[in-house]
């Protein structure tokens, strides 16, 4: 039996997480009563959470129904441009401001995540944690807020670029390079390493989309 969670913040977070992990995928219809049953909350906080997600463009209207939004090619490209620059800034600021403890956490993450190479689902979760840790290490609350919005929108992509053959291993090498630059307090190199990391991820996703179109054709 679901454990009741009474407030709308929890309802919002639970629905957002369900989208993020792929329980609900782009195009899926979200029904207020079904969500309330699934998450053990009343319909009012679910309704408020859905309105908030629609305002953030994570949900869209299909007639009277709300569905998980999807990104077209141009939207995806625009998102990656913004993500690349913001992530690069976060890495540069982390190289300047991160405490020794925060840097140690990043290094531990890279070493522990090596065990996940070849498992794109587990690596995708670990990848989100890694990037969020860099955001926090930037010690800039406004940048963290903007990156949170970018990463929420990333959940609207149907697949992860880490699903590409060999990508998990390459991504881990890129993460290692980012952390080495932060450890060295090299702001320019940290920013460059993370921007390059995002560029490679974007190119990988473009190749995935091209392959999918080829199969559909």
Q: Which residue has the higher pLDDT, 109 or 26?
A: 109
- Residues of the chain above pLDDT 70, percent: 91
- What does the pLDDT read at residue 129? 93
Domain boundary among 68, 103, 119: 68
Dihedral Cα 202, 205, 209, 212, nearest 10 deg: 170
Clarify whether residues 163 and 83 are in a common domain: yes
Residue 33 has pLDDT above 50, yes or no: yes
Contact yes or no for 194/88 (Cβ under 8 A): yes
Q: How confident is the model at residue 9 (pLDDT cuts 50, 70, 90)?
A: low
Residues in the chain: 217
Q: How confident is the model at residue 165 (pLDDT cuts 50, 70, 90)?
A: low
Clarify whether residues 149 and 196 are in a common domain: yes
Clarify whether residues 60 and 167 are in a common domain: no
Residue 138 has pLDDT above 50, yes or no: yes
Tally the domains of the chain: 2
Residue 97 lies in a domain: yes
Give the pair of three-digit tokens for residue 151. Answer: 């990463």
Encode pLDDT of 60-76 as tens digits.
998 888 999 988 889 89
Full residue range of the structural domain in which residue 12 is found: 8-68
In 3D, which of 157, 145, 143 has the Cα closest to residue 191?
143
Clarify whether residues 134 and 45 are in a common domain: no
Q: How confident is the model at residue 87 (pLDDT cuts 50, 70, 90)?
A: very high
CATH of the domain at 54: 1.10.10.10
- What does the pLDDT read at residue 152? 84
Residue identified by tokens 């629905």 is: 15
- What does the pLDDT read at residue 47? 93
Clarify whether residues 104 and 195 are in a common domain: yes
């Amino acid at each position: 039996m679901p454990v009741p969670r009474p407030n709308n913040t929890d309802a919002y977070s639970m629905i957002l997480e369900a989208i993020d992990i792929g329980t609900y995928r782009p195009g899926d219809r979200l029904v207020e009563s079904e969500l309330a049953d699934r998450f053990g909350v009343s319909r009012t906080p679910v309704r408020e959470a859905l309105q908030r997600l629609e305002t953030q463009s994570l949900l869209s209207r299909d007639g009277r129904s709300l569905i998980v939004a999807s990104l077209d090619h141009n939207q995806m490209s625009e998102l990656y441009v913004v993500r690349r620059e913001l992530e690069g800034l976060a890495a540069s600021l982390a190289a300047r401001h991160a405490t020794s403890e925060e840097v140690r956490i990043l290094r531990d993450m890279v070493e522990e995540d090596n065990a996940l190479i070849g498992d794109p689902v587990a690596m995708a979760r670990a990848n989100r944690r890694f990037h969020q840790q860099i955001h926090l290490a930037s010690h800039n609350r406004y940048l963290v807020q903007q990156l949170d919005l970018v990463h929420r929108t990333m959940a609207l992509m149907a697949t992860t670029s880490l699903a590409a053959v060999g990508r998990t291993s390459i991504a881990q090498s890129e993460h290692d390079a980012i952390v080495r630059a932060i450890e060295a307090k090299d702001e320019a190199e940290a920013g460059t390493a993370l921007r390059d990391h995002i560029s490679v991820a974007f190119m990988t996703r473009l190749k995935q989309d091209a392959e999918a179109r080829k199969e559909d054709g």
